[in-house]
Amino acid sequence: MLKVSLTHDVDRTEKTYQFFTHALRALQKGDMRSAGYHMGSWKRRKQVYWNFEDIMEIEDRFGARSTFFFLLESYPFNLFKPKSWKLSLGRYDIHEKRIAEIIQQLDATGWEIGLHGSWASYNSLELLKQEKKILEAIVGHPIKGIRQHYLNWNENTWHLQKQAGFQYDTTWGFTRKTGYRDNKVKPFAPFNDHFTVFPMAIMDSCYMNTPDKRGELRKLIQVTRDNDAILVINWHSNNYNEKDFPGYRKAYIEIIEACKAEDARFGKLEEFYEEMMEERKSDKALRR
């Protein structure tokens, strides 16, 4: 059976400085119509990154539930360090009423909430603990999973995540192409204990830049099934507006349809994690 886990990194909830950066990019390409759109009525169009209801409707239509990873970014803005701009500008406040409410609504209606660890948290136990505690206060119960922002990771990250109380991580993957990093296809336990890593095989921007999308998807489906693994897909929550991200929403639906055609079973990462823990318990009991 093909097992699939749909996930969403929630990087942005409102379009802010992207009005200017996207317009500039369009002008550089000579696309005046697109530039005019991006520089248009920002008050009317700034909500194009708020797509939670749309995602819920899509997944509900296919009988699927996914995992949303919410971000608590605290990277300080520095005018003289352009690297900081993308991290610190346009970020959202997780305590804002409507954001806290959508988190609670998703959780209450069967979707999973996880942490999208901030840029610096990959190497900070203090940040990981603090961000986890804040998100758990909003959902009202412990959270199991995490994915680091921009897949920022080093050899110490999993140790810190485990110390912070996370049960699984799904950072392991590529930022520029689809596929299984280092040929690690099946979920694995780096410390030979409960802490589990779910490799991520498809991220939206990588998939959309793939020349033969359908061929690549067929290949990944086959590899995943052959290894009795889980096809983890990451489609950012802000990438569903056709004007801003042409083809992304359609491609997401097509991926789900292709998996359904293969009789896929869709599950949240926490569900697959719990099943793996039960299997390990059964295996240990049989060996006694």
For 193-204, what is each residue's pLDDT tens digit? 999 999 999 999
Average pLDDT, the chain: 89
Q: Per the domain annotation, does 228 fall within a domain?
A: yes
> Beta strands 67-71 and 112-117: pairing type?
parallel
pLDDT at 26: 47
Q: What is the pLDDT of residue 127?
A: 98
The four Cα atoms 185, 282, 66, 112 give a dihedral, to 10 degrees, of -130
Residue 7 DSSP SS3: strand
Output the 3-class SS for 95-150.
CCHHHHHHHHHHHHCCCEEEEEECHHHHHCHHHHHHHHHHHHHHHCCCCCEEEEHH
Q: Assess if residue 35 is contained within a domain.
A: no
116-132: pLDDT as tens digits:
999 999 999 999 999 99
Average pLDDT, stretch 212-219? 98
Structure confidence at residue 41 (pLDDT): 46
Cα separation, 288 vs 286, in Å, equals 6
- Distance, in Å, from the CA atom of 175 to the CA atom of 67, rounded to the nearest integer, reads 19
pLDDT surpasses 60 at 88: no
Kindly tell me if the per-residue pLDDT of 53 is higher than 60: yes
Between 34-48, 78-92, 230-244, 270-284, the lowest mean confidence (pLDDT) is in: 34-48
Q: Would you say 152 and 175 are in contact if contact means Cβ atoms under 8 Å apart?
A: no
Q: Give mean pLDDT, residues 77-90.
A: 61
User: pLDDT at position 39, please?
Assistant: 57
Tell me: the pLDDT tens digits for 149-184? 999 999 999 999 999 999 999 999 999 999 999 999
* DSSP-H helix ranges across the chain: 18-28, 32-38, 42-45, 52-61, 82-88, 97-108, 125-139, 157-164, 204-208, 213-226, 248-261, 269-287
Q: Is residue 181 part of a domain?
A: yes
Host domain of residue 195: 3-10+52-287
**Confidence at 109, pLDDT banded by 50, 70, 90:** very high
Domain count across the chain: 1
User: 140's torsion region: left (phi>0), alpha (psi -120 to 50) or beta?
Assistant: left
- Identify whether 151 is part of a domain: yes
| pLDDT given for residue 244 in this prediction | 83
| CATH number for 191 | 3.20.20.370
d(CA 184, CA 40): 45
Determine the pLDDT at residue 280.
83
150 located within any domain: yes
Does 34 reside within a domain?
A: no
Q: Is 17 among the domain residues? A: no
Residue 275 has pLDDT above 50, yes or no: yes
- Is there a contact between 67 and 115 (Cβ–Cβ < 8 Å)? no
Contact predicate 235/106, CB 8 Å: no
Q: Is residue 20 part of a domain?
A: no
258 within 8 A of 207, measured Cβ to Cβ: no
Residue 16: pLDDT over 70: no
